[in-house]
Homo-oligomer: A and B are copies of this chain.
Amino acid sequence: MKNSNHSIGVFDSGIGGLTVVKRIESFLPNEKMIYFGDTARVPYGTKSNATVVEYSIQDANFLISKDVKIIVVACNTASSVALSAIEDRFNLPVIGMIEPGSELALNETRNGKIGVIGTNATINNKAYSKQLKKQDKQIKVFEKACPLFVPLAEEGWTDHEVSFLVAEEYLNEFKEIGIDTLVLGCTHYPLLADVIHKVLGNNVSLIDSGTAASIQVKKYLEKNDLSNIMKNKKVQHEFYVSDLPDKFRVIAERFMGRPIKKINKVDLEEIINL
């Protein structure tokens, strides 16, 4: 008996993964999702690899306790560090951000010059450049950490003059290099796509790893007869977080682009002791 009517599990260190939920939703409107944001331990990017692996396994385990049929690691740091550990531990398909995003970027580029932006952690790890070069040794990759983009997205300053100036400061070097494809290597960044396009021009393709991952999820479910074929007119996703600070709902709804009915707080102890 296939678990086709089970949910898709999505986790992130915090709130950014909601942009991935939104993407999956647009590709798979019939699928219910269970989201876990580890807001009590956010960010993962400043933590050691061993710690990120430990936390990611706990996060995945929480989703598994909710009987999900597939896990999406909607966090670039966790994807780059913990993906194989999660696959080894659990007997469940796991889809991260790095490999789908890289594949889509390689399909997209014409001139072989790909830019990658992300948090300090993702850029220092060289997660994308390693993956891109693994798939195509000839490719030229240019990486840049953009630490101000996360707080700008969380503030909701998505078309503010400040965001444009920050994007110019960070991205001008890509214009000089002449990249034709830019990987948004952080789940917060799709919110700033308009500003980034304004700086780089519309000839540069922006690769949203969440979109790339959604396509892979869709393919996997179809190939393995796991797609939900029951017509759910109104799918209600479930949202869980390990801490619920005052502003969380405001930011979460900004990221989802619509109201969220209920956000459930789970005690960290419950997650750890599962």
18 contacts between A and B (CB under 8 A): A40-B46, A40-B47, A40-B48, A40-B51, A46-B243, A147-B155, A148-B151, A148-B152, A148-B155, A148-B162, A150-B151, A151-B151, A160-B169, A161-B165, A162-B162, A162-B166, A162-B169, A165-B165
Residue of B nearest to A170 (CB): B155
Number of copies of this kind of chain in the complex: 2
CB interface residues, A 149-164, toward B, < 8 Å: 150-152, 154-155, 160-162
Chain A residues engaging chain B, CB cutoff 8 angstroms: 39-40, 42, 46-48, 51, 120-121, 124, 147-148, 150-152, 154-155, 160-162, 165-166, 169, 243, 245-247
Q: Other than the known A148-B152, A162-B162, what 6 A-B pairs have Cβ atoms closer than 8 Å?
A: A40-B47, A120-B245, A147-B154, A147-B155, A148-B151, A151-B151
A172 CB to nearest chain B CB (Å) = 13
Task: Determine if A121 and B155 form an interchain contact, defined as CB atoms under 8 angstroms apart.
Answer: no
The distance from the CB of A27 to the nearest CB of chain B, in whole angstroms, is 31
Which of B42, B51, B120 is within 8 Å of A46, CB to CB? Answer: B42
A112 to B166, CA, bound (A): 37
Residue of B nearest to A161 (CB): B165
> Which B residues touch A47, using CB under 8 A?
40, 243
A48 touches which one: B48, B147, B151, B243 (CB < 8 A)? B243
Docked Cα-Cα span, A124 to B250, in Å, equals: 14
Task: List, in ascending order, chain B residues with CB within 8 A of A165's CB.
Answer: 161-162, 165
Residues from chain B with a CB closer than 8 A to the CB of A51 are: 40
